[in-house]
Structure 1
Amino acid sequence: MPHVGESVVEGTIGKWLKQPGDRVERFDPLVEVVTDKVTMEVPSPVAGQLLRIIATEGETVPMGAAIAEVETDERATPAPAVQAAAASPTAPPAPVPPPPPATPATSTTPMSYLITNAQPPAAGPATVPVPAPVSETIADEERLAITPVRRMIAEAMVRSASQIPHAWSMVEVDINELVALRNRERHAFRQREGINLTYLPFALKAVAGALKDNPTLNASWGDDHIVLKRRINLGIAVAAPTGLVVPVIHDADRLSIAGLAHAIDDLAGRARSGALRLEDVQGGTFTVNNTGALGSSISGPIINHPQAGILTTEAVQQRPVVINDAIAIRWMMNLCLSFDHRINDGEESGAFLQSVKRRLEAVDGDTPIY
């Protein structure tokens, strides 16, 4: 099992892409591996014949453990960065399988190459083969099999909910002028750029600016210290076929609204098609989830561990509001924030929400898209 960083200690075999007896070329996709960071296609580090599968589909094994045996005449060389299909935004650097011990020059017979570390892996918990998940119907119940991705998502949610003391807050935002700007620009933007202009890039622009004003929301807990992140890397939650994916827009504060729209379209499209790269899910510092696209008006999101907060943008709706002692119909949107109460209190989280609110309500016909 290739190492993918210090924070990942084990992985689950999702699917073998080759079977015993198959010929494999170096860098051919060999196996899908699921971790709490990313679903990877692991390439073969050598060319040869797959002799034996050691770790079966559904089995969870520690990093560095042998998962297969390949017979080859060649010496292993580093494989390229793996492709990522799903992840959380703090994934570590791409794995590079190390070479095996050198074969003596006088040897005239192939060596079997184990896909593992050159040195024996450190002792860890014994691995027990796990049968592939199977759905079953019992009496008047149906039990759905838990896929490796679903299990990883569940474990990540439990870790966040159990390790981070969540607190929650919500504000209403009057986005009447934003709606008018977007309606005015959307058709021309589609013709120029080839993508839709949604409300999300406006929200991300406001969040990025608010994080600059409130840096303790762009942070993480370090037990005896708080880590303030210098870069603003926004994770965007995407519902992919295999489960929730959180690709990252790096340095989001440096992008225009049009630039953010392109980044969203690119990452969401590749997340849904399983074409994310490992670097696409690394380094997130704060997460935004557009739950309004699902029709939600209020939600209580779980923080993406180990970040300090997560914001949801809710459904854009017309509501009656009081303006200057008169009732008016305005386009409104709720912003919901879950935050780590170890790092921030109501004062800091409230200031952050008010900053996002002010920035969105300040959008008007003169706001630049580019």
Structure 2
Amino acid sequence: MFKKIKIAAYALGSALNVPLVGQLKGNEIVALLSLPFTFKARDFKDYPYLRKIVYALLALLLFQFITDVFVVHNSMQNFLRGWAGTIMSIISFIVLFRMMDTESAVMTYIFFAMIKNILFTDDIVDSDMSFFKFKIVPIIASALQLIAVYLYKRGKIMLMMGIMACACLLCFANDARSTGMLFFVGAGIIYVMSRGIRITRQKIFAILFIGATVFEMAYVFYVNAVLSNEIGGGHSSSQIKRLDNPYNPFELLVTGRGETFAAITAIGDKPLFGHGSWALDKDLKYYKIVLSYQDEGTGEFDLKKADSVDRYIPSHSVLMGGWISCGIGGFIAVFLIFWWLMKMAFTLVLHAQDSNLYPLYVMLTIGLLWTFLFSPFQHLRFTIPVTGCILMNGYYDWLYGPNVEDDEDEEQPVDEAEKEPLLLN
């Protein structure tokens, strides 16, 4: 019972901001207080991926120190905020790995994360579009994860698929395309894998071709519906109308993720050591690149708004954000974290269909991939640890079996080759 209370406090605490070295979240306070009672040195021996991820984060912290102190001579406020983020990510991985170690714990966390979004996210809503995207979508996502696990456990796959399809259509109709795509791709993967199809390298190409064909047909339908003002709202309509070829999904991705091109330019300007933690876009050089792809100087991306709110270098990519902050060393450290987490995640997608949490693993894997590629660097601190630890526990549960930790005196196998099997056998 105490563990569930702690998990609930962690989930709800993310809505609380504590002014300390910038701002700490309430759930980070929970993690800090739990660390002395959670950390076990033996975990680094028994679970090599946990050790590797923590060491990669320590390497990231070292590269941050070098860049901030010796290269860009960053302000104390900025480098302390940057270092605190990495330190909290380390602590969160260590604590959450032990906290999210059972199905009950994971379900408890998702339930209270949903409650948190119901009660405490009104402050980020400033329009009808943002209300659905930032208030309703997280609630739908958590509810769908709970429902999907419940139905999957009872073998009601087609009912689960129908609910996921409805959630997908609802998101696309209300300008939450990335979440809608997560549900779309997730439903497809769960359906294929639940059919008992043995995945080989040859079959992957066939599945990708069929999936791409279905996706393009659905995308054409979506574009036509948006252009005829049936779904999507003004934001989607304005984005699609300014594309040279609205039926090319890559053009839509480009216009919606102009921060990627700004990040590439920022990396090119300082490729070796980066710009430092919380680096400023002093003359709005990089923001203007975003502007050129997204709104051409009007509306949401108004230049005056950027100048009055903040002037941080835009990146919207955890991978590129590491490079911008502390150079190529930071990028390598973050990439290794990405690689190890995705290796475990894809292993679960391909081999863990017998787990009750399988639908959750699929959705978290897609979400984690999107986060590393297209979400702000701060996600390495706020969302990646909990997602990563759920997947990591699922991976070791699949690898060792459900009763591996029943006997704490039992020695665990430490053969690295055995712990890190090939994704495709």
TM-score by length of 2: 0.22
* More contact order relative to length (CA 8 Å, sep ≥ 6): 2
Q: Between Structure 1 and Structure 2, which shows a larger proportion of strand residues?
A: 1
Q: Which has the larger radius of gyration?
A: 1
Q: Between Structure 1 and Structure 2, which shows a larger proportion of helix residues?
A: 2
